[in-house]
Amino acid sequence: MKVIKKNEDEQEDLELPLFDFYTVTIATDNFSKDKKLGEGGFGPVYKGTLPDGQDIAVKRLSHSSTQGMIEFKNEVIFCSKFQHRNLVKVLGCCIEGQEKLLIYEYMPNKSLDFFLFDSSQSKLLDWSRRFNIISGIARRLLYLHQDSRFRVIHRDLKASNVLLDDNMNPKNSDFGLARMCGGDQIEGSTSRVVGTYGYMAPEYAIDGIFSIKSDVYSFGILLLEILSGKKNKGLSYSSHSCNLVGHAWMLWKDGTPMELIDTFLEDSCVLSETLRCIHIGLLCVQHQPDDRPTMAFVLIMLNSENALPQPKEPIFFIEKVSIKEKSTSDSKTSSSANEVTVSIMEPR
């Protein structure tokens, strides 16, 4: 089996099966538009079929991508170390000239955002499916934080990075921005803030401090999105200028939290579970990292009926401003999606 070996300018072995570019080109009908599944900050993703009939998903690094060789190598390293049934399986990679490709197992139900933010698809996610997805994401994040060989901070948890299998079970994907921590280390810092606006914890977006608790913050945002069927970023309400977190808090404070819930859930939701999930979501997006639960405690809260601590008012609400998109080389902060709206944190 071919594997990528250490090159002179690499610091680690990148040991994954190596696909040749011709094989991938044939599998994707020369990267046909009809085969395109979607696109993110890394580049477009295509469906392909190998000669043996196996379906694959191919992520192709775009030449205009804000991400590059650093993130590509990072994901290859992570995927070679963390092949777990609850994470999307990486079958191999391809590096030929300017072409850099990652080959994954094909997930027939695409990503969570495909269903969640599309009114024609969202109705297919009843409460039992959404609760199963919430619990599944929490378990997979706990594996990364606590149960894997190395502690992993994902740094880019979002709806488009949660893929769904045949039975709508979630699998975490995209480790291009992830960081491994040794020993008891639970946090780190960087001068290069990367990720997706709207999911970033305040301490990471502003000071570059990332931790397992910044992942918990991202999980809280995702949880509120799953409950509401609305995006945190780019959302506004006629009654107040704030994002989904601010809206959820105002409804909680007014004693009407169920107004947050997606209308498609009216006939299927379990009231006690739904209210509990809103409560947990608000605990996860607390401003101070120490006030947020660990993922281990999140799972306990999801599966018990014990009383929960009261959330504090979120200090940072997010307002939208439009700016010209900057490249990573021009700015300290880069987004993992090709978006022109950025989120500016302002204290209340």
Catalytic positions, written as ranges: 156
Element of type H or E holding 45: strand 44-49
The two structure tokens encoding residue 87: 């994470």
CA-based nearest residue to 15, from 79, 89, 66: 79
Rounded to whole angstroms, the Cα distance separating 209 from 149 reads 23
Residue 171 Cα distances to 75, 77, 148, angstroms: 16, 18, 15
DSSP, residue by residue, 102-129 = EEEE--TT-BHHHHHT-HHHHTT--HHH
- Under 8 Å between Cβ of 179 and 151: no
Rounded (10°) angle between helices 127-142 and 271-284:
40
- Under 8 Å between Cβ of 243 and 198: yes
- Under 8 Å between Cβ of 221 and 199: yes
**Which pairs from 93-96 meet CB under 8 Å and 24+ separation?**
93/4, 93/14, 93/16, 93/17, 93/18, 93/19, 94/18, 94/19, 94/20, 94/21, 94/24, 95/4, 95/18, 96/20, 96/21
- Under 8 Å between Cβ of 196 and 156: yes
How many CA atoms, within 13 angstroms, populate the side-chain half-sphere of residue 266? 3
For the chain, the first-to-last Cα distance in angstroms comes to: 57
- Under 8 Å between Cβ of 84 and 143: yes
DSSP, residue by residue, 165-183 = -TT--EEE---TT-EEE-T
